[in-house]
């Protein structure tokens, strides 16, 4: 008898939700970190610790740039609103 055994597998997904608005910078940072660093529970402790340390190291970097992106995007929107005569709305967006 000739046979080949194989397995078709499906992995867990992450779900992130928010109330009264979009995801926070912390949540987006967490999503990014989960994509960049995923540590297997079966990994040797030394490697797992190193990976966890790296994850914490880059957390603040990602958070900083997420915040910067949001701020710059708001700046662009404010400028567009101002130049089209919607100063009140521009001020609202600027205060977000």
The footprint of other proteins (CB under 8 A) covers 6-23, 31, 34-35, 38, 40
Task: Using the minimum distance from each CB to other proteins, give the nearer residue, 22 or 45.
Answer: 22
Cβ atoms of 55 and 33 closer than 8 Å = yes
User: Which CA distances in Å does 84 have to 72, 79, 81, 94?
Assistant: 19, 9, 5, 15
- Between CA 60 and CA 48 the distance in angstroms is 20
Task: Using the minimum distance from each CB to other proteins, give the nearer residue, 15 or 53.
Answer: 15
Taking the complex as a whole, the smallest distance from the CB of residue 36 to other proteins amounts, in Å, to: 8
Nearest to 38 by CA among 46, 30, 21: 30
Taking the complex as a whole, the smallest distance from the CB of residue 1 to other proteins amounts, in Å, to: 19
Task: Using the minimum distance from each CB to other proteins, give the nearer residue, 9 or 53.
Answer: 9
Taking the complex as a whole, the smallest distance from the CB of residue 82 to other proteins amounts, in Å, to: 25
């Amino acid at each position: 008898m000739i046979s080949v055994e194989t397995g078709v597998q499906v992995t867990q997904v992450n779900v992130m939700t928010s109330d009264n608005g979009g995801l926070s910078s912390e949540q987006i940072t967490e999503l990014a970190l989960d994509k960049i660093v995923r540590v297997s529970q079966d990994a040797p402790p030394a490697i797992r610790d190193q990976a966890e340390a790296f994850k914490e190291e880059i957390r603040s970097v990602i958070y900083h740039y997420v915040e910067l992106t949001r701020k710059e995007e708001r700046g662009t929107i404010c400028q567009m609103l101002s130049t089209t005569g919607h100063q009140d709305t521009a001020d609202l967006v600027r205060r977000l």
